[in-house]
Amino acid sequence: MLEIKNLKKSFGSRVILDNVNVTIKDQEVLSIVGPSGAGKTTLLRCITGLEQADSGEFTIDGKSFDPNATDTSESVIGVVFQDFNLFPHLSVMDNIILAPTMVLKQSKQVATADAKKLLDQLGLIGKGDLYPYQLSGGQKQRVAIARALAMKPKILCYDEPTSALDPNLRKEVERLISGLKQDGMTQLVVTHDMDFARNIADDILEVSSLDKLNQTAD
Amino acid sequence: MSISYISEILPSLFQGAGLTLQLFFWTLIGSLPLGIVVSLGLTSKIKPLRWLLDLYVWLMRGTPLLLQLIFVFYGLPLVGIVFQRYDAAIFAFILNYGAYFAEIFRGGLQSIDNGQYESAQVLRLSYWQTIRKIVIPQVVKIVLPSVGNEVINLVKDSSLVYVIGLGDLLRAGNVATSRDVTLVPYILVGAIYLLLVGVCTYVLHKVEQRYSYYQ
């Protein structure tokens, strides 16, 4: 379980997040919804360590952790970016095994075997030798998911997972997220699409305006 | 333009071309890594470092290479730094070309999308792992055409070393021309430069092809 208490973040004098509390239970999906500019991406960036929170407590399974720390041995958060941010010069396989071999010091064989399993699981059998530019948007997203999962994170975060895709792929993303949930993955999904959020989430956190944050059970 | 005359002066021209090539290779070996390091400094957040490197680039690009050669060989001994002619030439060329390469690489570095760094960060790659595995391979592809231009310039710029008394290809042609009062050596010199640049162009083209495997 990930718990965030009293998270604060401002840019200059502009307060973006004020005393935000977030709880994500194990093997559940939490959606953070709200109009653009409400601060949901900033919240995600604080959780993923891409932005330094001004203050706030982060605990995972009761132990505190610092999202900005880079030297921890455990991966807490995995991220699937809105534009996926795959590495264009690396094949799908190399995109996935780069961090496990360089950071977790896995051998290439072990990392490759793990990556193959992930590719199978995500319906990307035989795509390992392709380069990102040869993939469709949906395939790129699944590679990004595989790349994040290869680091064995406790929580997988998505930033607007439907916005860079064809609208008719929305159902597919929903199935993907539910599939991972069934495999036991805890997930955090930032989206502006309320229907999508209702379909996937166990819990919804509405970031409507600054000081009105309600986490409601669905 | 007799064959016997050509075969008579070719050895001295080839000897000159040998020096030109040596200068060419040592300059590349020194200035490319220097350019990479300086470009990382130019894009760093440490302001004093940036100012210092901006000054270096300004000096190197703001004054003629000919003048820099003269300063390194005749000027530095005045402050106690003495170079042999050959070393002075290589030193000046590396400093000069390093500055041009640094500016080219800076442009390449700045064209890498911030998302690439963020991806690397959330995958917990270290700064140097990110630079080595993510950034440099992409920058190389972007900067190759501009680097190729500089490489070809370098072949011809190397002729400036005559000013400190080194015998390169052009000087060898000079000597033969003024001795024998004929333009034939210059024609040969031109042909050899064309050949050298032709080889460079071919190699650069092959390298560019190698990097065209993605988009």
Is residue A164 in some structural domain? Answer: yes
> Percent of chain A at pLDDT above 90?
61
Same domain, A7 and A69: yes
Same domain, A158 and A207: yes
Q: What is the pLDDT of residues A165-198, one digit of tens each?
A: 888 888 999 999 999 999 999 999 999 889 999 9
Give the minimum alpha-carbon distance from A102 to chain B in angstroms, rounded to a whole number: 7
What CATH number has the domain bearing residue A44? 3.40.50.300
Closest residue in chain B to residue A70, using alpha carbons only: B124
Tokens of A82: 């809105």
Same domain, A173 and A127: no
Looking only at Cα atoms, what is the longest distance across chain A?
51
Q: How far apart are CA B135 and CA B132, in angstroms?
A: 6
Res A13: pLDDT: 84
Cβ pair A98, A87 in contact under 8 A: yes
Is residue A171 in some structural domain? Answer: yes
Same domain, A162 and A69: yes
Closest residue in chain A to residue B114, using alpha carbons only: A85
Which residues lie across from A80 on neighbouring strands? Answer: A158
Is residue A19 in some structural domain? Answer: yes
Same domain, A159 and A145: no
Question: Is A74 buried (19+), middle (13-18) or exposed (0-12) by CB count in 10 A?
Answer: exposed
Q: What are φ and ψ of residue A135, in 5° steps?
A: -105, 155
Residues in A 71-90 with any Cβ partner in B closer than 8 A: 72, 75, 77-79, 81, 83, 85-89
Choose the final residue of a domain: A103, A132, A151.
A151
Same domain, A69 and A162: yes
Same domain, A118 and A206: no
Res A72: pLDDT: 62
Domain membership of residue A70 as a residue range: 1-76+153-218
Number of domains in chain A: 2
A155 interfacial to chain B (CB closer than 8 Å): no
Is residue A81 in some structural domain? Answer: no
Res A218: pLDDT: 43
Q: What are φ and ψ of residue B69, in 5° steps?
A: -60, -45
Is residue A83 in some structural domain? Answer: no
- What stretch of H or E contains B23? helix B3-42
Q: What is the pLDDT of residues B62-72, one digit of tens each?
A: 999 999 999 99
How many of the other CB atoms lie within 10 Å of CB of B134?
22
| Domains parsed from chain B with CATH numbers | 3-213 (1.10.3720.10)
Same domain, A48 and A145: no
Minimal CA–CA distance to A158: which of A195, A186, A136? A186
Same domain, A136 and A161: no
The reply to whether residue B119 touches residue A132, judged by beta carbons under 8 angstroms, is no
Same domain, A128 and A140: yes
Rounded average pLDDT per 10-residue block, chain A, 218 residues: 89 86 92 85 91 89 80 79 96 97 94 96 94 95 96 94 88 93 94 92 80 48
- What confidence tier does B215 reach under pLDDT thresholds 50, 70, 90? confident
